[in-house]
Structure 1
Amino acid sequence: MSEFTGIPTDTGTGGNSLDTDLNAPYDKADMVWIFIAGSFVWLMVPGIGLLYSGLSRKKHALSLLWASIMTIAVVTFQWYWWGYSLVFSKTRGNGFIGTLSMFGFKDVLGAPSAVGVVPDIVFAWFQGMFAIATGILMVGGACERARLFPMMVFLFLFITIVYCPIACWTWNPEGWLAALGALDYAGGGPVHICSGHGALMYALILGKRNDPLTKSGVPKYKPHSVTSVVLGTVFTWLGWIGAFNPGSAGNTTIRAWYSAYSTNLAGSCGALTWMFIDYFRCGRKWTTVGLCSGAIAGLVGITPAAGFVPLWASVIVGIVTAAGCNFAVDLKHILRIDDGLDVYALHGVGGCIGSVLTGIFAADYINALAGVESSPIAGGWINHNYKQVGYQLAAMCASVAWTCVVTACLLLILDRIPFLRLRLRPEEEELGTDEVEIGEFTYEEDAVYIPEPIRSKSIAEAPAAIIDDKVQTGNSSSEELQSEPKTNA
């Protein structure tokens, strides 16, 4: 057994691992929890891809699943390359953006992280998943009409230029919003406001989808697979209650588990609210897509508030956010911006509502559930700290303005670079992103369909062209297709 004589430090790597036990300052249960929480957030990303895929048309369905895996790869590299350093390194004194002192994860090892209770390498793992989640939400604004290589380039730049500054303002202890006193437990601003308004700008710059039947306004299509929508919602909801919000406590205290229940409660109330509203707005049907959309809206609304508000306030947050997002879906028709997956309505509007409600319902005694590891807050209106809503509005407006202006400029510049043209051509869009850009399909449209099982060996070995002819012309009967008795199958 090695003898460790060194003393862990608060700077650099935290010490020389050959003579210093870098694990000594930390609670191993906290480290295990943050790692597991990060892994669950990772699972949310393909869940969002599955949700988006189900909401799209069949000829574009695979591209959205592709986008989820691509986002994991691109943003993971960006976070390693310089993302983590830009968000959580020391700032230059203005609280706007970090330095490149941790470029390429330089010295990211055993020194205390920004939250203090876990080492840098564990914290970097967890926070990287939030950047990935922001990325996959944002690219939803480009559904069914974006070229994929420019999407990858844009995603890398968006996370660097748009997400990283907002995350630094909010979560870096030296960030100007953190210093101002704005509260954001798990990403109302950096994740949802940023991704929702980024998606809105992406949809605006790309223009609406081509649809000869829609002369004005924006086209509207039915989801091609409600089953995929449900499964995507399940993965996303599980990640939210199992990691996204409770993991943001940064430790294994009661506050983490309280925020898990708060999150599930708000999501449930949001699901019911949206479903009941749709019942009266959509022909008195209990819509499954409405139920899933409401759950996502409620989860978005509680994200900035989960570790700050009482459970009874979570009910209000879920109901108000779902109702607001439901009616915000109509904004795309007013603005004539084709946000086909309603990323802006759910995440942009939902994040804003949740941020303001945090300023109203934040309670000092809920925050204090973290015990000695808590950073005291003055609370919101229920603690008679009435200026807190002002801080929340400042954070919201700053995040919206930065996201919209910088994202729009970035997209307009990229679109003028010939090989980075953002949008598919009309004929390519008609064929579908899957065929034109990927060459693979979620569903094989040309696959041979035989109306009853093949029972004989000889028909299984028959040339495909013969089978195609009989099936497509409809002239074949089961007797014609069956050349041997059933007993020989």
Structure 2
Amino acid sequence: MVNITFDSSEDIIYNYDGTQGVYNLGDIAWTLASTALVWIMIPGVGFFYSGLLRRKNALSMIYLSMMTVAMVSFQWFFWGYSLAFSDGASHFIGDLKYFGLKGVLDQPSIGSSRVPALVFCVFQLMFAAITPMIAIGAVAERSRLGPLLVFVFVWSTLVYDPIACWTWNSNGWSARLGGLDFAGGTPVHISSGTAALAISLYLGRRRGYGTERLAYKPHNSTYVVIGTVFLWFGWFGFNGGSALSANLRATMACIVTNLAASVGGLTWMLWDWRLERKWSVVGFCSGAIAGLVAITPGSGFVGAPAAVLFGFMAGTVCNFATQLKFIFKYDDTLDIFASHAIGGIVGNVLTGLFAQASVAGADGVTDIPGGWLDHHWVQLGIQLADSISGLSYSFVVTTIILWVMHYIPGLRLRCDEETEIIGVDDAEMGEFAYDYVGLDTEIPIRGEYNGNSGVIGATGGSREPPHSQSLQESEVEKVPPA
């Protein structure tokens, strides 16, 4: 039982099981504000993905962002928070002490003694909600929507919660080993990016993969920019809020977040310009996201000069990693593995190199040995162990979930060919992002049909820049099968 009073500064004085402490109202306000900022990121992912897809599938991706928030909110209440952050957790996963949020009231949180558990719970809910949304972008244009509800619930339980537990719970093996992950390099980005790879391999290629018809650009670059704006804006709460306090460490996290995003966007755009001689806004947005992903694990541990390197390395490595899907011939429609899994690994590795005890200690509480910059050589090995474990675990368990669902009637994810032809929006939702898309699915507007490659004489969508998430198809949607 917690007894609370207020001191002269109106901070909350609590007494929990004989231990007295103070909840700082400024820290509570900053954490709750950061919660709202991270929430904005979830529809931001939806808009970012939607803009990259074809018109006939645009609305479904925005819908999935809202569906994911709702489903994970219930899962987090039901048992997700308990599995990740119960104080009786094992080295791998928590127990059901807080099942149904039982007992999660105003006692001190496991993350900070300066904010109550309820505040920490709702803040961490946003991380739990955005992670499967990042992953299920891999189902784009070829999945049924109903079974995704089940997948999100099960995946959050079996993949996200254990990885969050071993990373952030003080009992987790990675946390005890000394892993440094400030805001989710492994639990959020490596886990979701690797899950996207598993989903892509399970679902197989879209109809028409490898033909000119699928060598398309974004159908709406404005959506891509809007999504990036939401994500960049929200990432200040994502990284800065992870300090769980309004202090200098949170300030530094915001500074390096913005800097890494800026350098990442410029780097990716310049790599694309080298090949295309075009200043691609989609390339800039892709690079900014890569920079944000990479700085996530190190944002509370590295200084501003290191953030420049984070952005440059993310913009370069993730850019070239988009070629992996062509080399290995898998259909990762939105380059999620390249941007998030590879970006998360880049961030974890660089954190092992450039983490500084002085930066982490800016909150007056945290004490770490640092990384290579502080001559703590073993830190890189710890970071690699955490990254490889998260990647392997997510890939294996996601694959198992998909194949179990495959053999349960009604839960197969892959849609039929007719749904692919007319679009998920029409077939699964009966609604459209744009009124005219219904005509496009029925009436050939440009060119003539060619049974193998789709359209002859189409004026757009014939070129895909080698190093960008460029997606668009021709206006003709209903193409005779090859």
Fold equivalence (TM over 0.5): yes
| TM tier, smaller | 0.7 to 0.9
Shift of 1:322: 1.1
Aligned with 2:404 (options 405, 409, 413): 413
Residue 225 of structure 1: aligned partner: 220
SS at match of 2:23: coil
Residue 29 of structure 1: aligned partner: 26
- Alpha-carbon separation, structure 1, partners of 2:4 and 2:232: 46
Residue 320 of structure 1: aligned partner: 313
Name the amino acid aligned to 1:270: G
- Alpha-carbon separation, structure 2, partners of 1:398 and 1:212: 32
Superposition map of 1:202-221 within 5 A = 202-211=199-208, 214=211, 219-221=214-216
Shift of 1:213: 6.2
Aligned with 1:392 (options 375, 383, 396): 383
SS at match of 1:418: coil
- Alpha-carbon separation, structure 1, partners of 2:190 and 2:88: 23
With over 3 angstroms needed to count, the CA separation of the structure-2 counterparts of 1:446 and 1:391, relative to structure 1, is: closer
Superposition map of 1:94-113 within 5 A = 94-113=90-109
Shift of 1:4: 6.1
Name the amino acid aligned to 1:280: R
Supply the RMSD in Å over aligned alpha carbons. Answer: 2.1
The superposition leaves residues 117-167 of structure 1 with CA deviations (integer Å, 9 ceiling, x where unpaired) of: 210000001000001110110111111111111111001100100000000
- Alpha-carbon separation, structure 2, partners of 1:213 and 1:203: 15
Residue 269 of structure 1: aligned partner: 263
- Alpha-carbon separation, structure 1, partners of 2:214 and 2:189: 25
Aligned with 1:157 (options 154, 157, 160): 154
With over 3 angstroms needed to count, the CA separation of the structure-2 counterparts of 1:224 and 1:350, relative to structure 1, is: same
Superposition map of 1:158-173 within 5 A = 158-173=155-170
Residue 240 of structure 2: aligned partner: 246
- Alpha-carbon separation, structure 2, partners of 1:348 and 1:389: 18
Shift of 1:339: 0.8
SS at match of 1:25: strand
Percent of aligned pairs with the same amino acid: 48
Superposition map of 1:12-411 within 5 A = 25-92=22-89, 94-115=90-111, 116-211=113-208, 214=211, 219-241=214-236, 243-281=237-275, 283-371=276-364, 374-411=365-402
Name the amino acid aligned to 2:269: M
Contact 1:91 1:97 in 2 (8 A): no
With over 3 angstroms needed to count, the CA separation of the structure-2 counterparts of 1:99 and 1:386, relative to structure 1, is: same
Residue 484 of structure 1: aligned partner: none
Shift of 1:221: 2.3
Unmatched tracts of structure 1, length 5 or more: 16-21, 449-489
The superposition leaves residues 238-265 of structure 1 with CA deviations (integer Å, 9 ceiling, x where unpaired) of: 0012x00000011011000111010000
- Alpha-carbon separation, structure 2, partners of 1:186 and 1:212: 36
Contact 2:56 2:437 in 1 (8 A): no
Matched, 1:424 2:415: yes
With over 3 angstroms needed to count, the CA separation of the structure-2 counterparts of 1:422 and 1:295, relative to structure 1, is: same
The superposition leaves residues 299-346 of structure 1 with CA deviations (integer Å, 9 ceiling, x where unpaired) of: 000000011011100000100011000000000111211111111110
- Alpha-carbon separation, structure 2, partners of 1:365 and 1:273: 29
- Alpha-carbon separation, structure 2, partners of 1:239 and 1:367: 22
Contact 1:274 1:290 in 2 (8 A): yes
- Alpha-carbon separation, structure 2, partners of 1:338 and 1:293: 18
Name the amino acid aligned to 1:197: T
SS at match of 1:169: helix
TM-score normalised over the length of structure 2: 0.86
TM-score normalised over the length of structure 1: 0.85
Which has the higher Rg, Structure 1 or Structure 2? 1
Shift of 1:375: 2.1
Name the amino acid aligned to 1:238: F
SS at match of 1:38: helix
Shift of 1:91: 3.7
- Alpha-carbon separation, structure 2, partners of 1:309 and 1:212: 42
The superposition leaves residues 7-26 of structure 1 with CA deviations (integer Å, 9 ceiling, x where unpaired) of: 84446xx99xxxxxx9x720
Name the amino acid aligned to 2:386: A
Shift of 1:428: 1.2
Contact 1:97 1:168 in 2 (8 A): yes
Residue 452 of structure 1: aligned partner: none
With over 3 angstroms needed to count, the CA separation of the structure-2 counterparts of 1:223 and 1:313, relative to structure 1, is: same
Q: What is the total number of aligned residue pairs between the two structures? A: 431
Residue 461 of structure 1: aligned partner: none
SS at match of 2:436: coil
Residue 476 of structure 1: aligned partner: none
- Alpha-carbon separation, structure 2, partners of 1:447 and 1:142: 22
After TM superposition, the runs of 4+ consecutive aligned structure 1 residues lying more than 4 A away are 2-7
Shift of 1:223: 0.7
- Alpha-carbon separation, structure 2, partners of 1:220 and 1:178: 44
